[in-house]
Amino acid sequence: MSTAQTDTVTPIEAPLCVRSAAEVDWQQRAEVVVVGWGAAGACAAIEARQSGASVLVLDRFGGGGASTLSGGVVYAGGGTRQQREAGFEDTPQAMADYLRHEVQGVVSDRTLERFCQHSVANLEWLEGLGVRFGSRMPAHKTSYPPDGVFLYYSGNEVVPAYAGTAPPAPRGHRVVAKGQSGATLYAALQAATRASGARPLVQTAVRRLVRACDADGRPGRILGVQAWRLPEGDPRTARHAELDGLVAKWRIMKQAKAQAARLEAAAIEREIAQPVFIRATRAVVLASGGYVYNPALIDAHAPHYRQGWRIGGAGCDGSGLRLGQSVGGASQALANISGWRFITPPYAWPKGLVVNAAGERFCNEQVYGATLGHELVEHQGGKAWLVLDARLRRQAIRECLFGRLWAFQSLPALAMMLLAAKKSPTIDALATQIGAEPARLRASVEAANAAAHGERDDPFGKSVDMRQVCADGPFYALNISIGAKTFPLATPSLGGLRVNEDDGHVLDESAADIPGLFAAGRSAIGLPSGRYVSGLSLADCVFSGRRAGHAAAAEQEV
């Protein structure tokens, strides 16, 4: 079977260079053409319409992308209504001081401060589109709040090493919904896109940009796109839409079937998609998601994440990134893949000890899951164990059974503890079982126990309330490595196209704007491109999507 028959990745062609737009037989046109109808694309389309431009928004599938599969958490602060109702004070400056730890300098301080200053307004803008947020807080720090709870500490805000001068404030704003909130968030954005007057073209994959070039071949403005669209009324088009739904349904527990569905969808595109030229008289906005489903890009930039459990929408194959690169767009941070190793809940787990292959602790166990995952994959060879004693294990099992956890939180944890754990009567014997050095594991446990007894500071800065003596045998080790079959490590991509942080223009290698081309969301470098925090990606989709949509609508028409 040929590579083309086994590839789910959108083929991107070199740009079509023309002397003038009149040389092309355009079948569709709008002032602004948005490529990708996820959260960033929807926000760009709505903002461009609110700025007075006509808009076409295109999507390879039916819209939604990774945002509809997400938890529907928007990172917001600086004094939102929900924070105030929950009794928390927050300021844009306190928010920026915290996020500086997470952003890692991937955007300028000026952009970070602007993001924080606009945070309340952007959340209110979403509310104006029909998105609802709540102020009820969970009892414990968690990776995702239980049903009926909508405001929480979604990052490292309560970890001492990240604390600023201001008291920590919860900034994870989950959309009010029954069940997980991503689909509810996207449904509101999709409805708002249509209500704004933007015209969607679904099952339309952009493979090529059209660019003006002078007589000497020097490139100029982006004029539009060439897309391949599935014909209406063909039963294979209906099957393509069905396959997109199956990929979303199967992506967690049936990854082989999900991949087969992606392959079938790509085969349908190759068989029946028809080319169409779409004119953008003002600008094109690239907002088609990340690149985690592009094996070539993973192999080239982050091969040590190959064993990760890739998450994203079916269209997260780097098409926006590659379209931008096809016209000289510069990229950044393509090696940045976020590894999500969440060990809370169960709430007892972070009170245990995380050790590397040698048996040494390497991280504060209470940190946010992406922080732990980064340390695990980037600095420990992807190998790690969570060590619990009998008391912590019993406590964790009770929490899984009776703690109102989501099934995606409790079931893997129970499987790990009841079916996949290594068990030994002593710490030295446990070290032998997991291939660690007994003396090093013993030293790690003794140092942590001394901190739990108040005899010394915790070596990794764990909060006093999260320290617990590990002394009641038998002892258990849970494999939390990147390749652990019973506990997969989720991996979305973070890097993308470099953009002008003032307006979202795609930049070339000389840091000059590419005329008529913008990018937003995970196709571009943004706030989450350094380190991931729950809700920061969706918040950046709103921030960068609105920024690009507004600027694209203001471009001079040609």
Residue 170: its pLDDT value, please? 97
Residue 247: its pLDDT value, please? 85
Task: Give me the residues paired with residue 310 across strands.
Answer: 491
| Res. 310: pLDDT tops 90 | no
- Cα-flanking dihedrals φ and ψ of residue 283, to 5°? -165, 160
Residue 204: its pLDDT value, please? 97
Reduce the DSSP state of residue 280 to 3 states and report it: strand
Residue 1: its pLDDT value, please? 37
Average pLDDT, the chain: 95
CA 548 to CA 288: how far, in whole Å?
13
Instruction: Please provide the DSSP assignment of 142-169 as one string.
Output: -SSPPTT--EE--SSTTSGGG--SSPP-
pLDDT-derived band at 6 (thresholds 50, 70, 90) equals low
The beta-strand segments (E) located in 394-540 are 422-424, 475-479, 490-491, 496-497, 505-507, 513-519
Q: What pTM did the predictor assign?
A: 0.95
pLDDT-derived band at 148 (thresholds 50, 70, 90) equals very high
Q: Does residue 474 have a cis peptide bond before it, meaning omega lies within 30 degrees of 0?
A: yes
CB 181 within 8 A of CB 384: no
Decide: residue 16, CB within 10 A, 0-12 exposed, 13-18 middle, 19+ buried.
middle
C-beta neighbour count of 148 within 10 angstroms: 11
The beta-strand segments (E) located in 295-440 are 309-310, 331-332, 353-355, 385-389, 422-424
CA 140 to CA 347: how far, in whole Å?
7
CA 555 to CA 223: how far, in whole Å?
12
CB 52 within 8 A of CB 518: no
- Cα-flanking dihedrals φ and ψ of residue 210, to 5°? -110, 130
Residue 2: its pLDDT value, please? 43
Helix axes 235-250, 255-272, angle to 10 degrees: 160
The closest of 438, 443, 440, 444 to 426, measured between CA atoms, is 438
Instruction: Collect all residues with Cβ–Cβ distance below 8 Å to 455 and sequence separation of at least 6.
Output: none
The closest of 75, 78, 98, 89 to 162, measured between CA atoms, is 98
Tokens for 316? Answer: 């997260």
3-68+203-338+493-534 adopts what CATH topology?
FAD/NAD(P)-binding domain (3.50.50)
| Res. 462: pLDDT tops 50 | yes
Residue 276: its pLDDT value, please? 98
pLDDT digits (tens, 9 = 90+) for 389-436: 999 999 999 999 999 899 999 999 999 999 999 999 999 999 999 999
Using CA atoms, how far residue 423 sits from 268, 488, 491, in Å, is 50, 21, 29
349-479 adopts what CATH topology?
Flavocytochrome C3; Chain A, domain 1 (3.90.700)
| Res. 338: pLDDT tops 50 | yes
pLDDT digits (tens, 9 = 90+) for 179-204: 889 999 999 999 999 999 999 999 99
| Res. 5: pLDDT tops 80 | no
Task: Give me the residues paired with residue 385 across strands.
Answer: 355, 479
CA 153 to CA 169: how far, in whole Å?
7
CA 317 to CA 19: how far, in whole Å?
31
CA 469 to CA 471: how far, in whole Å?
6
Using CA atoms, how far residue 389 sits from 91, 161, 258, 303, 470, in Å, is 41, 26, 38, 35, 6
Question: What mean pLDDT do residues 380-387 have?
Answer: 97
Write down the domain spans for the chain.
3-68+203-338+493-534, 73-174, 349-479
pLDDT digits (tens, 9 = 90+) for 13-42: 999 999 999 999 999 999 999 999 999 999
